[in-house]
Amino acid sequence: MKTIYSEILKAKEKGSKLLAILLDPDKITLALLSVLIPKINQSPATHLFIGGSLVTSNILDELIITLKRDCALPVVLFPGNPSQISDKADGILFLSLISGRNPDYLIAHQVQAAPILKRTQLEIISTGYLLIESGTQTAVERVSKTKPLDRSNIDLVVATALAGEMLGHQLIYLEAGSGAKQAVPINVITAVAQNIKIPLIVGGGIKDLQGIQLAHDAGADLVVIGTAFENDINFFN
Ligand code: 1GP
């Protein structure tokens, strides 16, 4: 069966790089979709991620229904908390914030979400999520009340990613935080990519096409772009 995860694995095996556009339901309106969707369809994106640290808007279902109707890309939830589950999507990154030591984001939210997810058809993709220090405090740090990993402590970042892999996560996500001042350092991406076998996602603070290229070249299998596309819908032109 063709699943989101098996397609990511296949891409990794072939060395073809993936790109997700992240849409935060709090930052867009349904009216804006008629402008955004043609831009998404013209972009090199391979996935759509939907989520945000808080998400207070109630347009989630309708947003996903419209995206699925007008875009061919898989729609993957990237939730900040269990209220951001929609059975209209194709899959969900089932995140555990393994860089932090807040039990709510390590396991409590997951316990709350599991029975809800069990009733959906969503493809559940277990993801070890690592927040990396990026210059200033980001929304992930503020909302999760966890400290990011020191960006210069490569050994600790690699050990954390390895632990995530050994615990059975299917993906590792290196996150600098949405709108981060500094993206995840290239040497950190390289070190993690060289040490894990599972696919690697990198996002946060990537501001230009060169940043995407550098992250891919360093070993990211999938790069996430949120703020840069939000700020400039012609980003991929
Ligand atoms: C945030 O990794 C994503 O969770 C994307 O970050 O908004 O900085 O692109 P940006």
pLDDT in tens, 155-165: 999 999 999 99
Nearest CA, atom 1, ligand 1: 178
| Mean pLDDT, range 126-132, rounded to an integer | 98
Per-residue pLDDT at 54: 78
pLDDT at 68: 98
d(CA 195, CA 165): 10
Average confidence (pLDDT) over 97-126: 98
Angle at 34 between CA 30 and CA 36, to 5 degrees: 90
Per-residue pLDDT at 192 exceeds 80: yes
Q: What proportion of the chain, given as a percentage, has pLDDT over 70?
A: 100
Mutate to test the pocket of ligand 1, among 224, 230, 233, 235 (most ligand atoms within 8 A of CB): 224
Closest atom of ligand 1 to 176 CA is 2
The helix (run of H) or strand (run of E) holding residue 75 is strand 75-77
What pTM value is reported for the model? 0.98
| Two tokens, residue 74 | 């898989």
DSSP 3-state percent helix, strand, coil across the chain (nearest 5): 40, 20, 40
Mutate to test the pocket of ligand 1, among 54, 97, 136, 175 (most ligand atoms within 8 A of CB): 175
Residue 140 CA to ligand 1 center (angstroms) comes to 10
Residue with the bigger pLDDT between 109 and 81: it is 109
More confident residue, 2 or 63: 63
CA dist., res. 161 & res. 236, Å (int): 30
- What pLDDT sits at residue 87? 97
